[in-house]
Structure 1
Amino acid sequence: MVSWSDMTNDVLQHITSFLPFPDHYRFGAVCKNWRLVFKQRRCPPAPQLPWLVLEEESQTKKRKFYSLSDAKHYSIEIPELHGRYICGSSHGWLFAVDIKITGILINPFTRECYELPPFLAFSNNVDVTTLIEKVPSDYTGGPRDYTFEEMQVGIVCKAILSHDPKERSDFTAMILFGQMNSPAFWRLSDSSWTVVDGPNCRMEDVVCFKGNFYVISVMNKLYVVDFEPIPKLIEVGPPIGKEGRPYQTYLMDFDGYMLLIERFCRYVEHEVPVTVRFNVIEPNLEEDRLYEWFGIDDCAVFLGRNSSIFVDSSHLQMCKKNSIYFTHLTESYCGDEFGCYDLGVFNMTDETISTFYSAEVFPRRVGSPVWLTPNPSKRKLSKDPTWLLLHSCLIEIGNK
C-alpha cells in the first residue's frame, strides 16, 4: 500500500479537481510533497459558490469572509486591505479604497496587486478625514457631517473588469463614480482614469458583455461604451418599459445572454428600503426586442456591488436553484442604530424571499458586503513557501 505522502503527482492533481477552494489550502498544508502539488496545480478548484466579503475585524484587522458552500466564516490576514473599503469585485479580484481615496485592485487569496490612479472626484490625493460636508439630514431636516467612512462608500458605486488580469494583461477596469455614477475606465498603461462622455443623468450599473461595456441609466436607457476616438456612451437596444420604477437595476452576462434585473423595494420603519421582488428582462440587441424571463432553471444569480455572478446550482450543495441572492444597498437610508439588513434570496418559482445570512446586522459605515468568486492564481504565490502553510492555518483558525 502506498502512503499518502508518496502518492504520485498525477493522482494528487486529480484529487485537487474535486476540492472546494478552502480545501485547496488545507491540502497544501499536509506535507512538502502535497504543498508542491498545490503550488503547481493544473486543475482549478471544484465549482463553488461565491464568498461574501465582510468587514474588517476591529482588533486583529483581519478581513472576514463568509463561505456559502459550508456556511462558515473565515478570517484572513491581508495587510493590503487594512483600513480599506471594498467598492467592487470582478473575476475574483477586489477593488478597495483607502482613507487617502486611492485604490488598489487585489486578488485577496494570492495578494497579487495593482495600484490604481487616484479617483477623479479626489484627484489631489486628499485625506478625507479633513473633508467635512454639511448635508441635509435624512431624519431631522437639519445638517449633519459626513464621516470619512461614509465618503469612502460614496466614491465608487461599481467597479468591474473586462478580463481576469492573471489571464490577460490587456484588461480594462471600468468604474461608476461620484454623485452621478459617471463611467470612467483605466488600463494598465494609463496614468489616470478617463471619463466616458454621456448624458447628464445617473447611471445604475455596468457590465462587460461580449467584449463591450454596457451601462444602464436611471432613465431606463441602455448604452454601449464607444472608446474611439473620444470615449462616449451610445444609446442602444429597444426602449425598456417598466411597471413602476424599480429601486435598483442590474446588468449581467448570463452565459451569453445579457440580462437586466430589476429590484423592487418597499419602505418599512425609519424609511429603510426592503426588497420584495425582482424582474428579469433580456434586452435582445440583435432583434431589438425585450423578453421577460420567468425563471433561470437550475441556476442562481448573485447581485450586489460585484460584477453580477451566476452559477449552476444543480452541482452545488447549499445553493437554492432558480433564485437570486442579493446584498443590501449602500444607498439604503438606515442609521447606525438599525444597520443595513436587506440581504436575502428571492425564489423565482414562488416569488418568496428567505434569508441566507442572518448572523449580523451590518452597520452603515461598512457599506455593502460584496460577493467574490474565489479565484486562486496558478502562478507562484510567494517567494516564501511557508506562507502557504501560514495562510492555510489562518483560514482554519479564523473559522467561527
Structure 2
Amino acid sequence: MTRIKKLNKHASATFSSYLSAWPDLLFLVLDKLLEPIDHVRCAAVCKQWQSLGKEYNLATQRWSRVAPMLMISGRSSTSMFSVSEGKSYIKNVQLPNKHNRICGSSHGWLAIVDKTSQDITLVNPFAQAMVPINLPHFKENVSKVILSADPALNPTSYMVVAIYNSTKLAVLRGGEEDWNCIRLPDKLFDSLTDVIIYKGQIYAVSVCGKIVSINVNNCVINSSHSQESLDVRVFMTRSRKFRFRECDEAYLVESTKGHLWHVQRRNIGETQFDGSILFEDGFRVDEVEFSDTDGCMVKHVEVESIGDEALFLGKNYSVSVSASKLPWCLPNSIYFTGDLESVMTIYDVDQLGTACAACDPNYGQKPPGLWITPPFKGLC
C-alpha cells in the first residue's frame, strides 16, 4: 500500500510538472500561428487551452490590430484572400445586387452604395447571417464611407462619416434617421480622398495637401440644429516631393503608436536615357500633430522610415499594423490597392516609397481588390 501511495504521489507530481509546462509550450505554438482563425481553433480544444489563449493574447497584445484580408471579386463569386498563406477563404461571399458599388470597409463591415438610389447598406461578410444595416436615404454621390466602430457591438454609439460630391462630408450617428451634412469652409475647393476618426475627432485630407479637422467631441450634429458651434478648420500642408502638384491620392492613418500620418501617392516621372519619361508610383509619409489646447496643427514633418509599421491603404479605413507580430508582413512598407487595377502592390518606404513587390490574386479580373479587416480582437 505504501508503495502504491508513493507511485501515485510520483505520478501526481509528474502530471503537475507536465501541466505547469503547458503554458510555455502553448505560447510557443501560438507564436507560430499566423492567422487569427488558427488561434480560435486552438482555443476550442478545451477550456484550459481557451484560458491560456486568453492569457497569451492579453500578455502579447498580438491581436490589438489584425492585418486585413484582401477581398477579391471574380466573374461569379467574391472571396477573402489571405496574403500570408496565398489562398482564399470565405468563398462565395454573398453581397447585395452585383451592380452596386463598394465605397469602403471598416471594422469588418462593407459600405455598399446602390448606383441608382445612392442608398448605403452596411454588410458584414464575415457573419453573413447578420442582418445588413440599411442607412437612411442619401441622394448625393458618395465616394468613401468609414465607421468609427463595429455597429454590431456599438449599435447606438458608432458614427458613420461619408465623403460625397468629392469635396463635402456628411455624418450619421447610430440610430439617427437623417444624415447631417457638414458645411466646410469655401477655401476647401479640391477633392477629399480619405477621412479618419482620430482621438475622437474627424480629419479628412485632400489631393492638394489640405487637412480638414472637425471637433465633434462637445457638439451635437443634427439636421435640426445649427452647426455654428462646430469647430471646422482647414490646414494647408507643404510637401517637398509633390510641391505645387496635386498627388493622385492622399490618406490619413493612425500608427500603432498613436501617431497620425499623412500619406500621399503620386506618379513620379523619371527621364530615361532615350529621353522618354518613366512613371511609377511613389509615396511620401508625413507625421501630423495637432495641439490639444487650441486644435491648431503644430507639426507636419516627413517620416523617412515607418520602422516596424506596415500600412494598408485603398478604399478601406486606412490601417497600420506591427509587422514584427506578423512574420509574413514586410516592415516599413505600404500595401496598396488602387481603383484602376486588381493588383495589390507593396511599396518600400525607404526606397522613396516605390514598388518592391506585387501580387495579383484576382488574375487580372475587375473590380480591384479591397482591404477588409476581420472583426477579431483576441480571445475574450
Q: What is the TM-score when the length of structure 1 is the normalising length?
A: 0.67
Cα distance, 1:197–1:96 mapped onto 2, change above 3 Å:
same
- Give the drift of 1:162: 1.7
What code does the residue aligned with 1:223 have?
A: V
How high is the sequence identity, in percent, across the aligned residues?
24
Change in CA separation of 1:121 and 1:70 when aligned onto 2, cut-off 3 Å: same
Measure the CA separation in 2 of the matches of 1:204 and 1:172. 19
Q: How many residues align?
A: 320
Note if contact 1:222-1:236 (Cα within 8 Å) is conserved in structure 2: yes
Q: Label 1:187 to 1:305 Cα distance change in 2 as closer, same or farther (>3 A).
A: same
Change over 3 Å in CA distance of 1:168–1:75 after alignment to 2 = closer
The Cα of 1:312 is off from its aligned counterpart by 0.9
| Equivalent residue, structure 2, for 1:204 | 193
- Structure 1 residues without counterparts, runs of 5 or longer: 2-6, 123-154, 333-339, 380-400
Per-residue CA distance 1:50-70 (angstroms, 9 max, x = gap) = 201111551xx4x21111121
Structure 1 match to 2:275: none
Candidates 334, 355, 359, aligned match of 2:357: 355
Question: For the structure 1 residues 266 and 210, does the alpha-carbon distance in structure 2 shift closer, same or farther, using more than 3 Å as the test?
Answer: same
1:27-176 aligned within 5 A: 47=63, 48-55=66-73, 57-58=75-76, 61=77, 63-81=78-96, 83=98, 84-98=100-114, 101-111=118-128, 112-121=130-139, 155-169=141-155, 170-176=157-163
- Could you tell which deviates more after superposition, 105-114 or 247-256? 105-114
Q: Measure, in 2, the Cα distance between the counterparts of 1:64 and 1:248.
A: 26
Residue 276 of structure 1: aligned partner: 281
Contact 1:51 1:373 in 2 (8 A): yes
Distance in 1 separating the partners of 2:173 and 2:283: 34
Post-superposition Cα deviations, 1:109-152, rounded to whole Å, max 9, x if no partner, equal 12334523355236xxxxxxxxxxxxxxxxxxxxxxxxxxxxxx
Aligned to 2:374: 374
- Residue equivalent to 1:387: none
* 1:223 alignment partner, one of 212, 217, 221: 212
Tell whether 2:212 aligns with 1:190: no
Higher relative contact order, structure no. (Cα contacts within 8 Å, ≥ 6 residues apart): 1
Q: Which residue of 2 aligns with 1:23?
A: 38
Q: Secondary structure at the match of 2:347?
A: strand
Contact 1:237 1:289 in 2 (8 A): no
User: Which among 282, 285, 291 is matched to residue 301 of structure 2?
Assistant: 291
Classify the secondary structure of the residue corresponding to 1:22.
helix
Structure 2 SS opposite 1:326:
strand
Deviations 1:279-331 (A, max 9, x none): 111222226232110001111111101111111111212211111111112xx
Counterpart of 1:303 in structure 2: which amino acid?
L
CA contact (8 A) 2:104 2:112 kept: yes
Q: Alpha carbon RMSD of aligned pairs, Å?
A: 3.9
TM-score normalized with structure 2 length: 0.70
CA distance in 2, matches of 1:72, 1:253: 28
Q: 5+ residue gaps in structure 2?
A: 1-10, 12-18, 220-225, 271-277, 292-296
Give 1:225 deviation, angstroms: 2.1
Displacement after TM superposition at 1:188 (Å) = 1.6
1:185-216 per-residue CA deviation (whole Å, 9 max, x = no partner) reads 11122113221111354222111110000112
Separation in 2, partners of 1:81, 1:21: 27
SS of equivalent residue, structure 2 residue 316: coil
**1:238 touches 1:285 (CA, 8 Å); kept in 2?**
no
Instruction: Write the distance in 2 (CA, Å) between the matches of 1:95 and 1:263.
Output: 24
Query: Which residue type is aligned with residue 320 of structure 2?
Result: F
Q: Which amino acid aligns with 1:328?
A: G
Match of 2:238 in 1: 240
One-letter identity of the residue aligned with 1:235: R
Question: 1:42-86, CA deviations, whole angstroms, 9 ceiling, x for partnerless residues?
Answer: 98695453201111551xx4x211111212122434435462532
